[in-house]
Structure 1
């Protein structure tokens, strides 16, 4: 056990996407659909699909980039938390596999499965561990290979999902430095736990899209505002908002109700599709790489989905 600290901050970020692009035109050759139909309903133009790459492969690639950006060596990390719902192997977990590949020595290694809200849950777990003195530096990854669980004959779901990974490195704040990761606001709606599901009886993604849409568009804006309040940040001062990339109509509907008028809104759904636990860090990393968020700016992260679970926090852009 080390001595606890006052807070943590994000010091590195990275992402990875497979090279294969699956466009709406490609899908129109597989099922009865077309570009106009897909874009009008969910806003997606294309998505990436992994072929020979596994969940661990993508997670390790994103993690390597985040570590490189942080300036830390693998030996400096002592906890690895991976958010995913699409790992095929039950044991070993993805976190342990990634740690072995990167040469991270004796870390706490765990996977978190809360589906689309997983990344914010994983960030909170790592932040809490460092604050409590149970760890010093963390590697947090959101990764999914949803193509393994997509029914490519079902046009209502196969248009939605893609593969990819995003990662961040967390480290303690120094001296009187303010925390760069705010308090988590998290919870669930147990009575809607089967709204998004992959079951043993039906091993493909199945969802009650309309019920999730109604819940998200009516409930999430107040929860997102609560997340900013918990961090002591005025919603008007938020530099960027990264919601789970579920559906462009949901994202734009929540953003309109949120009132973060000065914020850049992540719309990675258009080019990446819904990547579940990977969607928030993937979108965030791409925005940072494009220079869309100023260093130090408060960024609202908020994931929601299968379970039905939700979680969010404010972070400071590295």
Structure 2
């Protein structure tokens, strides 16, 4: 028998303010057609004044608890993937822990930018497999609208805010690809590429800074690395692309998603897409897509999913799981 981290509940939250491309046309030198053609994005959500990353994460956490039929103290741990925590410290995860009334266990943040949720899933899987935790909530939450340089027309139109949460629970499997739960993970990073995507602020500057991205280079690395990590994770699980019911990718750019699916030989009809409605929500994009995909009736119990993401660092990876 093998201990598996099995999905128990999922939820998400999006800020009330919806920002269509037409609104950005009034603010910067861009057009709806240009944004759609380059990214596939039609609209995104922005936080309200005073609304924080932990606020979004808390809403998503409560939705996931409701979906699982659990209460906060049923959890042993919270892992929150974010690059936009409320404060330098303490972690946003501990703020969520307090906000939902969780009085036991532990909570911490993971920072791997857009790949953060994949890294957090791998952390949760390891905690559950090792017996350190029975139930773990994994959250991705971001307020990237606050990192935008509104004079950088090629980048500021791509990002949005939101949060998604997934609850995992230890269950016994047979150690076969037919098991429910996380079947394999594959993680990578290469710090030589850090200048391709970064924020020019932090403790070294004493400022929050703005997001900087070399879009063409990020695109090239993304298509190559995402398809490769997905195949590696499938190989580890003893599966192949033909077994995949759904790719649930990081929702950064429709062209990247399409090119990756093509390399994996998976038709776009088997890709969960939310980028058109949410933009790039960084670490929140995969859990948002999981929650929306389930709500739409796309993702069903027993389906085989591949999630993959790449972000600043560069950091990238994938997870194969059976819903």
Is contact 1:239–1:263 with CA below 8 Å preserved after alignment?
Answer: no
Deviation (angstroms), 1:9: 0.6
The two structures, once aligned, show a CA RMSD in angstroms of 1.6
Q: Tell me, what secondary structure is at the counterpart of 2:188? A: strand
Question: Gapped runs of 5+ residues in structure 1?
Answer: none
What per-residue deviation string (whole Å, max 9, x for no partner) do you get for residues 126-154 of structure 1? 11011111111101100000011112232
Work out whether residues 238 and 262 of structure 1, in 8 Å CA contact, stay in contact via their aligned partners in 2.
no
- The aligned counterpart of 2:124 is 126
Calculate the TM-score normalised by the size of structure 1: 0.95
1:196 matches 2:197: yes
The superposition leaves residues 276-308 of structure 1 with CA deviations (integer Å, 9 ceiling, x where unpaired) of 000111111101100012211011011111110
Q: Which residue of 1 aligns with 2:97?
A: 99
Q: Is the 8 A contact 1:84 1:112 kept in 2?
A: yes
Is the contact made by 1:78 and 1:105 (CA closer than 8 Å) also made in structure 2?
no
Match of 1:71 in 2: 69
User: How many residue pairs end up in the alignment?
Assistant: 314
The residue aligned with 2:30 is 33
Q: Is the 8 A contact 1:237 1:260 kept in 2?
A: no
Distance 2:120 2:127 in 1: 11
SS in 2 for 1:181: strand
Name the counterpart of 1:300: 306
Does 1:315 find its partner at 2:317?
no
- Does 2:140 match 1:142? yes
Query: Distance between the aligned counterparts of 1:293 and 1:145, measured in 2?
Result: 26
Tell me, in whole angstroms, the C-alpha distance in 2 between the residues paired with 1:142 and 1:263: 25
Seen in structure 2, the aligned counterparts of structure 1 residues 5 and 236 have a Cα distance that, compared at 3 Å, is closer
Distance (Å, rounded) in 2 between the aligned partners of 1:263 and 1:22? 27
Contact 1:236 1:261 (C-alpha < 8 Å) held by counterparts:
no
User: Counterparts of 1:1-318 in structure 2 under 5 Å?
Assistant: 6-52=3-49, 53-174=51-172, 176=174, 178-200=179-201, 201=205, 203-261=209-267, 264-317=270-323
Give the gaps of 5 or more residues in structure 2.
none
After the TM superposition, list the runs of 4 or more consecutive aligned residues in structure 1 that deviate by more than 4 angstroms. none
Normalising by structure 2, we get a TM-score of 0.93
